[in-house]
Chains A and B, each alone.
Chain A
Amino acid sequence: MSLLRVDGLSKKFGGLNAVEDLSFDIQPGAVYSIIGPNGAGKTTLLNLLSGVYQPSAGHISFGEHDLTGRPPHEYASHGIARTFQNLQVFFNMSALENVMVGRYLHERSGLVSALMRSRRLARAEDACREEAAELMRYVGLHDYLSAAADAMPYGALKRLEIARALATEPKLMLLDEPAAGLNPTEALELDDLIGRLTGRGVTVVLVEHNMRLVMGVSDHILVLDYGRKLAEGPAAAVRNDPKVIEAYLGSAVAHDGSFESGIASAVAVAVEMRR
């Protein structure tokens, strides 16, 4: 059975169809990438899949549950977590506290016990702190265990968001351009991190412009163009799909013939920018 099912999903902003009549299934355990030129509706789609936007039409179901029209915190409580292209870090807290906030669903306490600081709560807090620190180490943030969030570099903040999302113990993780703004070394480390996520049993949805990363980690790719599905299928099939090559990667292929090369992806990005 599929983990996430999207059926006839549309989102209109005024007269513009940002996402139009989109249907697809996501199978558990896979890395599912969504690619497409800027303005193709990728981020809008992630916002729909996390409840940040309400769809104009269509349905989203997760496992047994129909989540259409539900608020974001319900998506989270069903096991969908996400990161953001333009960080939504809590800059008024320490890095560790950011991840502790991510434990919210698993550490909820009554208002009275919070106000009185019950023993049980104090113990749970200690455990929560430990788990958060563990997650920070897991994503490679050993050096920032006692840092304030507003004192961290960009690349570390991107990892911090991943740690925070992991803290919710998600079944599905939506990553919105995790490699954007990272230097090549940091981007390379991301391959490994995404691999380890799936190893933990987390299904990953990846929106990304970095073709090297996408082609390296994806099992399945969805190509969007003007809010519509241009192609979808196993990574190997999509990369050889003539429609995709022509519409999206055409000039890059013509130039170099290989997706693996850094030049090719640079050209692909340049092509997108022009559109």
Chain B
Amino acid sequence: MLARLASPRTGGMLALAAVIALLPLVLSNKYFYDIAVLVGLNAIVCIGLNLLIGYAGQISLGHAGFFGLGAYGSAILASRYGWPPLAAMLATTFAVAALAFVVGRPILRLKGHYLAMATLGLGVIIFMVITTEDKFTGGPDGIAVVPFRIGGFVVQGERIWYWVVGALLLVAVWLALNLIESPAGRALRALHSSEIGAEVVGINAANHKVMVFVISAVFASVAGSLAAHYSGFVTPGKVTFLHSIELVTMVVFGGMASTFGAVVGAAVLTTLPQLLAVFEDYEMMVFGAVMMGTMIFLPRGVVPSLARLLQTRRQRASADGEEEGA
């Protein structure tokens, strides 16, 4: 029982739930709640993106595009056409999944820098469509979004959103952990390491890549829809190439192939710009320097690096203990 609790799976889920439950004790005002909600939404995107990049080893420099499609799809259907927000979100998610499925197959045939280019291009194209088709999207000015409501209940205010996003984050973590520990998840990790090796035991590598691409796009799209309703406004700012890069950086910063790492990465890099605001004009420089510095000194990411450190400590401690006993 204790062993189960200490496993990264159950233990990690419990720890995350505890953090979400206890965090309001230190969130003293709306502004902090706002940041916490943004962290949660980014974390959901990153958990999906980590399945694609960290586990399956397929890079995407265009996931802000899927986030943007989710946000604008919900915004347009719910606000312009008066759809119920939940229906708008589901329809948008389905459409994004379909798009990812269709473009996923030819794109994921590519490898390395060519894959990076293609996903980057996809993201830029989505961004340009959104800024250009201003009849629907409001162009660079963006559009206002109605609050999220289910039946008579309106989800409004930072505090209510905090609990909604917190619960969804736990669900996202749970789904990701389940997938990784399933035959399909093992197949993803296998093809990351050796595509040929995976193929010859019967794994259809192309299908699995498309599958995880679609899943990661769905995570991003749902987070985008929620973000649109939460902030009540969408602009193309969150659909840019730079935002795609921020998302990838969160994943790599937290640690590739670590679901909790993705959450940590999202938390740190979403909070960082708020802290850097004190640097005013130097904010951009400092952000760039932090990106470079962490990747140079912690190329494996924070969580795996810490885990490794703890492990060697523990091994050393137990080795010392044995020596003393002998």
Contact = CB atoms under 8 A, between A and B. Distances in A.
B248 interface: no
B188 to A, nearest CB: 10
A262 B292 CA distance: 57
B193 interface: yes
Contacts of A72: 196, 199-200
Nearest to A92: B193
B175 A115 contact: yes
A93 B190 contact: yes
Contacts of B201: 76, 81, 101-102, 104-105, 164-165, 167-168
A167 B189 CA distance: 18
Contacts of A115: 175, 178-179, 182
B183 A93 contact: no
A243 interface: no
A73 interface: yes
A14 B202 CA distance: 29
A104 B183 contact: yes
Contacts of A168: 201-202
A273 interface: no
A72 B206 CA distance: 12
Contacts of B199: 51-52, 71-73, 76
Contact of A114 (B179, B198, B200): B179
Given A108-B183, A114-B182, A115-B179, A73 B194 contact: no
B103 to A, nearest CB: 19
A82 B200 contact: yes
Contacts of B86: none
A271 B184 CA distance: 47
A84 to B, nearest CB: 7
B205 A73 contact: yes
Nearest to A78: B202
Contact of A101 (B181, B203, B211, B257): B203
Contact of A90 (B178, B197, B257): B197
Contact of B181 (A71, A89, A117): A117
Nearest to A82: B200
A88 B182 contact: no
A73 B204 contact: yes
Given A101-B190, A107-B183, A108-B183, A88 B202 contact: no
Nearest to B196: A88
B232 interface: no
A121 B182 contact: yes
A77 interface: yes
B52 to A, nearest CB: 15
Interface string A116-130: 110001000100100
Contact of A117 (B178, B198, B203): B178
B190 A90 contact: yes
A91 interface: yes
A93 B186 CA distance: 9
Q: Choose among B181, B185, B257 the residue with the greatest number of A CB atoms under 10 Å from its CB.
A: B181
A73 B208 CA distance: 12
Given A73-B204, A90-B190, A101 B198 contact: yes
A33 interface: no
B100 to A, nearest CB: 14
Contacts of B205: 73
A97 interface: yes
Contact of B184 (A81, A91, A109): A109
Contacts of B71: none
Contacts of B181: 117, 125
Nearest to B207: A73
Nearest to B176: A115
Contacts of A117: 178, 181-182
A101 B179 contact: no
Given A73-B202, A117-B178, A52 B196 contact: yes
Contacts of B179: 114-115
A77 B202 contact: yes
A1 interface: no
Query: Which of B192, B193, B196 has the most A CB atoms < 10 Å from its CB?
Result: B193
A88 B191 CA distance: 10
A114 B203 contact: no
A1 to B, nearest CB: 24
A97 B55 CA distance: 14
A-B pairs with lowest CB-CB distance, top 4? A88-B197, A114-B182, A76-B202, A72-B199
Given A90-B190, A93-B186, A101-B201, 20 more contacts: A52-B199, A72-B200, A73-B200, A73-B204, A76-B199, A77-B202, A88-B197, A89-B194, A90-B193, A90-B197, A92-B189, A97-B186, A101-B187, A104-B186, A109-B182, A125-B181, A125-B182, A165-B200, A167-B201, A168-B201
Interface of B: 175, 178-179, 181-187, 189-190, 192-194, 196-205, 211, 257
Interface of A: 50-52, 71-73, 75-77, 81-82, 84, 88-93, 97, 100-105, 107-109, 111, 114-117, 121, 125, 128, 164-165, 167-168
27 contacts: A71-B199, A73-B204, A76-B202, A77-B202, A82-B200, A89-B194, A89-B197, A90-B190, A90-B194, A92-B192, A101-B201, A102-B201, A104-B183, A104-B202, A104-B203, A105-B201, A109-B184, A111-B211, A114-B178, A114-B182, A114-B185, A115-B178, A117-B181, A121-B182, A125-B181, A164-B201, A168-B202
